[in-house]
């Protein structure tokens, strides 16, 4: 079969525009499409696979001609929902014989969209389901939906087929390697536990090393370790890094790495040393908020265990840039949060960060909670659905939407002022105390470095504006005093800052424009009051559902009120997330139900319910009826914070 795998893109994507506006990068966009390259690797021999990334190869429509492709697979991301549906609609018109397939993390956000034109939908990981689907197609009996009950072992995940991107591979700043999946945390705005589960699964270290070795043979200079938390299993991470360091130093030019990780690495000097020696340029850390109360709102418990500012300084003392992710708009945030966040960045010497308004993508736990509270905005503008990082769909609690958008615009314009960046960058450089043990550059590397420096210096001399010219050469001068080995890192830092600066100026204009519109047209905003009914299928199968939840939670709780409340909370979560697709309590939904129960249990304080009511191990008479009534009332009740009243 001929298979076309598509990674959708938009011509107005700001990150791609900014990347292309920095000529010395020679790149069209940031990251190569890991999803479709992995699906290609999962495709058994005998099939012809073609990859098409719209960010580098342009719109895919000219390729989709009737009958050429048997399968057209579209990888849906959360910010390309509209474009994905456009491609699918076009495919069904011009090539009706082709099977149109949807998969990817963004599929879960399409719950309110018309997906009638999609032939097959993949949920979750595809290591086992994709080969099965291809066999089913061959035998003429493919299913509408493919999903696995159990999470596949990471050892089944092959190295992506990056070579299929051909000449376009040089158009990316980095490719991805995934070493683990799963996350033990449960942040309120994240639904990763339903995608990858709570339990960490990992590739073998030999697998990862071989994957990196293959990448070293390609025209690639940077690798993004695309784990949810690269240090989720520190023992595994350290062993991997200990073997990755000599491998990286064996290459003609060591690869640069970046990854996502949590703030607790600040307490582990051994791990920080290994990251530095392995040539990690930056680590993305979800700091989220400077307010402890907001961190509690987000259920970001791991960030409450230490001083965030001191932790960032410690990590950066190893020369590793902290890419700080911040969110503004939690229920505990008021208008003073903008100044507090600016002060934090200055104190922690943050040189690279992303800051967004709190948003609730449809289908996430946060979206359901705020929807029940009457705090989700409906919009007919499809563009906004792909711009939730600028224009939130949430009604804040302690500020107006206009105050949120205007506050963010002021913040973005203020924090990215070049003079303020110089101060943060200067302190960052001066506070570096560790020089990584990296391979010394050879003659060829020095020649390449000279060429790169010539391109960079030419850009800042003749093309960058006067403020950026002054800031760049100021920071370079400071780093030269510290050591010339820092020069490539300073170029990396300033390039990231340039991207941040241009993106934020763009975002500030959109935020101000939308704030002005809402100031005059606030009455036109429509709150999403559509009910979230209890699924009829869930009503029909209330007995096995509540019986399963009761038995699972009863293992931890033996006090009636607390047990009933926990079962109800789990049922609300389960109905929210799976009610529309639920048919029966099959093994898949049974596993999801246990996940919802664990989510509730993990939010309980240690020894939070010590008293005992000597409850039975199975539901008592009347329990199913009582809980179903409570679920019905809770779903109908607008303020989800008050659902406990149903037991008074």
**pLDDT-based confidence at residue 638 (cuts at 50, 70, 90):** very low
User: For 189, left (φ over 0), alpha (ψ -120 to 50), or beta?
Assistant: alpha
d(CA 256, CA 571): 45
- Quote the pLDDT of residue 179: 97
More confident residue, 469 or 77: 469
Indicate the pLDDT class of residue 611, thresholds 50, 70 and 90: low
- Token code pair at residue 248: 């990286």
The residues facing 223 across adjacent strands are 175, 257
Do the Cβ atoms of 388 and 361 come closer than 8 Å?
Answer: yes
Tokens 């589960």 belong to 197
Average pLDDT, the chain: 89
Contact 585, 632 (CB under 8 A): no
What pLDDT shows up at residue 513? Answer: 93
Q: Write out pLDDT tens, residues 221-250.
A: 999 999 989 999 999 999 999 999 999 999
> In what order do the strands lie in the sheet containing 29-31?
29-31, 172-177, 222-225, 256-261, 280-288, 321-328, 352-357
* pLDDT at 175 exceeding the cut of 90: yes
The 3-state DSSP composition of the chain as helix, strand, coil percent (nearest 5) reads: 50, 10, 35
Share of the chain above pLDDT 70, in %: 92
At 415, is the pLDDT very low, low, confident or very high (cuts 50, 70, 90)? very high
* Cα(39)–Cα(49) distance, integer angstroms: 10
Ranking 24-33, 189-198, 388-397, 602-611 by mean pLDDT, the lowest is 602-611
Decide which of 112 and 374 is more confident.
Answer: 374
pLDDT of residue 646: 29
pLDDT higher than 90, residue 348? yes
> Could you give the domains of the chain?
2-146 (3.40.50), 154-358+414-430 (3.80.30.20), 536-647 (no CATH)
Residue 632: pLDDT above 90? no
CB 507 within 8 Å of CB 359: no
d(CA 545, CA 592): 11
Residue 435 pLDDT more than 80? yes
Token digits of residue 101? 């397939």
Identify the top-confidence range among 349-353, 568-572, 583-587.
349-353
- Which of 27-41, 271-285, 429-443, 629-643 has the lowest average pLDDT? 629-643
Please state, in angstroms and rounded to a whole number, the distance separating the CA atoms of residues 603 and 609. Answer: 12
Q: Which of 102-111, 399-408, 533-542 has the highest mean pLDDT?
A: 399-408
pLDDT at 645: 30
Q: Is 26 left (phi over 0), alpha (psi -120 to 50) or beta?
A: left
199: which residues sit within 8 A by CB, 6+ positions away? 151, 182, 184
Residues 6+ apart with CB under 8 A from 48: 1, 2, 3
Question: What share of the chain has pLDDT > 90, as a percent?
Answer: 62
Rounded alpha-carbon distances, angstroms, from residue 90 to 11, 94, 121, 418: 17, 6, 17, 45
Confidence of residue 639 (pLDDT cuts 50, 70, 90): very low
Identify the CA nearest to 568 among candidates 576, 297, 301, 611: 576
pLDDT at 380 over 50: yes
Is the pLDDT score of 113 beyond 50? yes
Whether the per-residue pLDDT at 609 is higher than 60: the answer is no
Q: Is the dihedral of CA 511, 512, 513, 516 positive or negative?
A: positive
| Residue-wise pLDDT tens digits, 308-332 | 999 999 999 999 999 999 999 999 9
The continuous run of DSSP H or E covering 81 comes out as helix 81-94
Residue 152: left if φ>0, alpha if ψ -120 to 50, beta else—which one? beta
Angle, CA 207 vertex, CA 204 and CA 213 arms, to 5°:
145
Is 190 a residue whose pLDDT tops 90?
no
Q: Which of 109-113, 250-254, 266-270, 521-525 has the lowest mean pLDDT?
A: 109-113
The token pair that represents 386 in the structure block: 């792909």
Ranking 295-304, 383-392, 572-581 by mean pLDDT, the lowest is 383-392
Residue 641 has pLDDT above 50, yes or no: no
Contact 236, 214 (CB under 8 A): no
């Amino acid at each position: 079969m001929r298979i076309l795998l598509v990674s959708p893109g938009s011509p107005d994507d700001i990150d791609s525009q900014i990347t292309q506006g920095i000529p010395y990068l020679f790149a069209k966009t940031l990251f190569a499409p890991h999803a479709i390259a992995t699906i290609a690797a999962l495709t058994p021999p005998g099939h012809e696979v073609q990859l098409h990334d719209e960010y580098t190869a342009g719109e895919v429509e000219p390729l989709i001609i009737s009958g050429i492709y048997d399968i057209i697979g579209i990888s849906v991301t959360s910010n390309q929902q509209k474009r994905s549906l456009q491609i699918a609609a076009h495919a069904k018109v011009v090539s009706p014989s082709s099977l149109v397939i949807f998969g990817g993390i963004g599929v879960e956000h399409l719950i309110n969209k018309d997906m009638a034109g999609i032939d097959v939908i993949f949920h979750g990981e595809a290591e086992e389901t994709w080969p099965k689907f291809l066999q089913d197609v061959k035998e003429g009996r493919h299913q509408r939906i493919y999903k696995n009950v159990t999470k596949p072992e990471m050892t089944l995940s092959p190295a992506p087929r990056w070579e299929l991107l051909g000449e376009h591979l040089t158009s990316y700043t980095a490719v991805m390697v995934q070493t683990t999946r799963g996350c033990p945390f449960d942040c309120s705005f994240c639904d990763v536990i339903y995608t990858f589960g709570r339990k960490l699964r990992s590739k073998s270290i030999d697998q990862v090393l071989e994957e990196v070795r293959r990448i070293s043979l390609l025209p690639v200079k940077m690798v993004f370790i695309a784990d949810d938390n690269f240090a989720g299993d520190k023992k595994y991470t350290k062993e991997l890094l200990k073997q990755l360091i000599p491998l990286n130093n064996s290459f003609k030019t060591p690869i640069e790495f970046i990854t996502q990780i949590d703030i607790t690495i600040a307490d582990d000097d051994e791990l920080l040393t290994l990251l530095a020696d392995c040539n990690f340029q930056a680590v993305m850390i979800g700091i989220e908020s400077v307010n402890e109360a907001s961190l509690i709102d987000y259920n970001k418990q791991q960030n409450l265990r230490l001083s965030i500012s001191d932790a960032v300084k410690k990590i950066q003392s190893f020369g590793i840039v902290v890419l700080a992710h911040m969110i503004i708009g939690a229920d505990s945030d008021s208008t003073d949060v903008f100044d507090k966040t600016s002060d934090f960045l200055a104190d922690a010497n943050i040189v690279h960060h992303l800051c967004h308004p709190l948003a609730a993508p449809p289908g996430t736990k946060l979206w359901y909670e705020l929807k029940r509270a009457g705090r989700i905005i409906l919009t007919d503008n499809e563009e906004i659905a792909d711009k939730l990082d600028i224009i939130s769909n949430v009604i804040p609690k302690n500020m107006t939407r206009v105050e949120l958008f205007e506050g963010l615009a002021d913040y973005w314009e203020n924090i990215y002022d070049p003079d303020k960046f110089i101060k943060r960058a200067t302190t960052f450089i001066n506070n570096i105390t560790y020089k990584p043990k990296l391979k010394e550059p050879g003659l060829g590397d020095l020649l390449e470095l000279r060429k790169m420096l010539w391109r960079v210096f030419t850009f800042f001399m003749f093309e960058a504006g006067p403020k950026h010219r002054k800031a760049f050469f100021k920071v370079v001068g400071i780093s030269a005093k510290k050591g010339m080995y820092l020069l490539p890192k300073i170029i990396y830092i300033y390039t990231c800052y340039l991207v941040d600066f241009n993106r934020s100026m763009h975002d500030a204009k959109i935020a101000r424009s939308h704030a002005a519109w809402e100031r005059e047209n606030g009455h036109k905003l429509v709150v999403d009051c559509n009910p979230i009914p209890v699924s009829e299928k869930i009503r029909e199968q209330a007995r096995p559902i509540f019986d399963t939840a009761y038995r699972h939670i009863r293992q931890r709780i033996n006090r009636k009120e607390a047990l009933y409340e926990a079962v109800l909370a789990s049922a609300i979560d389960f109905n929210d997330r799976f009610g529309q697709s639920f048919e029966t309590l099959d093994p898949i939904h049974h596993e999801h139900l246990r996940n919802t129960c664990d989510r509730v249990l993990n939010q309980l304080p240690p020894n939070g319910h010590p008293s005992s009511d000597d409850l039975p191990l199975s539901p008592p008479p009347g329990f199913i009826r009582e809980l179903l009534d409570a679920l019905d009332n809770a779903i109908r009740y607008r303020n989800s914070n008050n659902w406990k009243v149903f037991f008074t």
